[in-house]
């Protein structure tokens, strides 16, 4: 038996098989600590190199909606806001800056959102595929595909999300 084999665990949020590590997780996102750690490494890459960073908004949105956690005020607002941002970017073509401004307006209504029952599958693309991207172009492409798949997985709630988003869009 290989003594150096890395122990793994299935992430409770996205279903990815990730390293079983003993690190703190997120306080309301439902993820395995190893998945949260990989996400942190992806964020570090995005923060340290603008070529990766141009995908940052979609990275955070995709991760958040794949790890909805349990019903709580923070989790409800997180899912609602990140789904709205995915709608604005992927369906309406908002650029990052415009989507962020709309999300900030939407956050003012965060107490009005309700829990959306997560889909049975949040998509096959996870932070693992993004983490493994060999360069910035592949990273951006993988993040876009990840975000699109995560958005599609919540299709049952698209009418609700679109309704919420209308209230925050600029007039």
Q: Residues of the chain with pLDDT > 90: what percent?
A: 88
Which positions ≥6 away from 82 have C-beta within 8 Å? Answer: 60, 61, 64, 65
Contact 31, 37 (CB under 8 A): no
Cα separation, 76 vs 72, in Å, equals 6
Please determine, for residue 85, whether its predicted confidence score (pLDDT) is greater than 70: yes
Q: What pLDDT does residue 26 have?
A: 78
Note whether residue 2 is domain-resident. no
Q: Is the pLDDT higher at 152 or at 6?
A: 152
Please determine, for residue 3, whether its predicted confidence score (pLDDT) is greater than 60: no
* Count of domains for the chain: 1
The alpha-carbon radius of gyration of the chain (Å, integer) is 16
Residue 78 is inside which H or E element, if any? helix 73-86
Q: What pLDDT does residue 22 have?
A: 86
Q: What pLDDT does residue 4 have?
A: 65
Contact 52, 140 (CB under 8 A): yes
- The boundaries of the domain holding residue 55 are 8-168
Please, which pLDDT band fits residue 2 given cuts at 50, 70 and 90? low
In a 3-state reduction of DSSP, which class is residue 8?
Answer: strand
Instruction: Summarize the confidence of residues 30-59 as an average pLDDT.
Output: 95
Note whether residue 3 is domain-resident. no
Note whether residue 95 is domain-resident. yes
């Amino acid at each position: 038996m290989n003594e150096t084999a890395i122990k793994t665990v299935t992430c409770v949020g996205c279903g990815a098989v990730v390293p079983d590590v003993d690190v703190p997780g997120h306080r309301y996102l439902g993820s395995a600590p190893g998945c949260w750690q990989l996400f942190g490494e992806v964020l570090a890459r995005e923060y340290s190199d603008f070529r990766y960073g141009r995908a940052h908004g979609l990275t955070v949105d995709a991760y958040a909606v794949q790890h909805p956690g349990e019903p709580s005020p923070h989790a409800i607002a997180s899912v609602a806001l990140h789904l709205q941002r995915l709608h604005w970017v992927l369906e309406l073509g908002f650029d990052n800056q415009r989507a962020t401004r709309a999300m900030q307006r939407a956050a003012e209504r965060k107490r009005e959102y309700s829990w959306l029952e997560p889909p049975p599958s949040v998509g096959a693309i996870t932070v693992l595929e993004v983490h493994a991207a060999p360069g910035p172009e592949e990273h951006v492409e993988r993040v876009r595909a990840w975000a699109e798949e995560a958005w599609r997985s919540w299709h049952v709630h698209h009418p609700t999300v679109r309704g919420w988003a209308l209230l925050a869009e600029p007039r």
